[in-house]
Amino acid sequence: METPATQSGEEYEEMLTRLSDGSIHRSFDPYRDIDWDAPEFQVVPDDTRWILPEIDPLGAHPWYKALPREKQIAVGMYRQANVAKVGLGFEQVLIRGFMQYVSMLPNGSAEFRYATHEVKEECNHTLMFQEMVNRTGVDVPGFGPVMRRVAPFLGLAAWPFPSIFFMGVLAGEEPIDHIQKNYLRTDGDFHPTLKGVMRIHVAEEARHISFAHEFLRQHVPANGRFAKYILSLAFPIIMRILCDVIVIPPKEFFKEFDIPKQVKKDLFWDAPASRRELSGYFGDVRMLGEELGLMNRSSKKLWKLLKIDGRPSRFRSEPEREPLAPAA
């Protein structure tokens, strides 16, 4: 069992105070900041704004492009609704874990204050994601069947193994943030409901990801040499497993639209473009691993074996300007 780090670093406490102030003064309400009932937000038949843009790997695939327009719309709506449902499920895992963790913190803890603010924001995100799913009218499952069964128990790791839990936080948040930022950087004509949800989520996830990074910077060095070595091996494994859970649609999606197995392989993660995409999700995480001394000889082999090695980011949220080269 890890011993949680005490509130000893002034810079860490100052950062938590800034994040808490941001949650107070720069927060969003999905029912105040998204005009769900505006005419342009309505879900109507034959709406081409649900067609997946090329920034989405499936949207760029020749199989999808060859579909009739109405089928492209149906596939796109299902995919986007399921992404929202997966986001909802992941937020629920975080909420359970955060409440497990903060319940054991002492009076006066700056971590308690910010983490509770974050839980409040995550609750709003679950409302926002479910509202989007409901309005599409598509009965999507979200996670695959295995994750749906184990998700309620994952938060239990937050107190005995907080560093493991927060690695899991980043494993889900970093790919989602990466994908949504790519969407918002384009001028694609996708549905305004999707835009509204992504803008709120990206804005608030910036704080959540910052907290997870700083939490690990504060807590990982408190571990002994052997425990830190175990964390170095756990880090890439957690990243890859939860990335697949978050990013790969459930089997119901492929069955519903009779998507060929080769298309799934191309998208996740056999084709060179999808392999680059997978590696690109974790540039910031690799940078953090370097800072924390978690990139040793053994762990680097694991990152490469799991196909998520590559150049670490030079700074947080560095845009990809060229394909990431494999790590030496």
Would you say residue 312 lies in a domain? Answer: no
Q: Which of 281, 300, 301 is nearest to 290 (CA)?
A: 300
Query: What CATH number does the domain containing 184 carry?
Result: 1.10.620.20
| pLDDT < 70: residue spans in the chain | 1-8, 317, 319-328
Residue 155: domain span = 10-41+49-305
Helix (H, G, I), strand (E, B) or coil at 3: coil
Peptide linkage before 303 cis (omega within 30 of 0): no
Q: Which of 142, 157, 312, 143 is nearest to 241 (CA)?
A: 143
Would you say residue 270 lies in a domain? Answer: yes
pLDDT tens digits, 199-255? 999 999 999 999 999 999 999 999 999 999 999 999 999 999 999 999 999 999 999
Would you say residue 327 lies in a domain? Answer: no
Would you say residue 273 lies in a domain? Answer: yes
The pLDDT value recorded for residue 320 is 65
The pLDDT value recorded for residue 255 is 96
The pLDDT value recorded for residue 3 is 42
Show Cβ contacts of residue 312 under 8 Å, excluding neighbours closer than 6 positions: 283, 284, 286, 287, 289, 290
> How is residue 304 written in tokens?
């490469």
Q: Max Cα separation, the chain?
A: 60
Q: Structurally, how many domains does the chain consist of? A: 1
Q: Which of 321, 124, 99, 306 is nearest to 204 (CA)?
A: 124
The pLDDT value recorded for residue 317 is 64
The pLDDT value recorded for residue 8 is 52
Query: Would you give the DSSP letter of residue 284?
Result: H
Would you say residue 3 lies in a domain? Answer: no
pLDDT tens digits, 61-99? 999 999 999 999 999 999 999 999 999 999 999 999 999
Would you say residue 230 lies in a domain? Answer: yes
Would you say residue 234 lies in a domain? Answer: yes
The pLDDT value recorded for residue 188 is 80
Would you say residue 323 lies in a domain? Answer: no
The pLDDT value recorded for residue 5 is 43
The pLDDT value recorded for residue 9 is 80
Cα distance between residue 325 and residue 183, in whole Å? 23
The pLDDT value recorded for residue 123 is 97
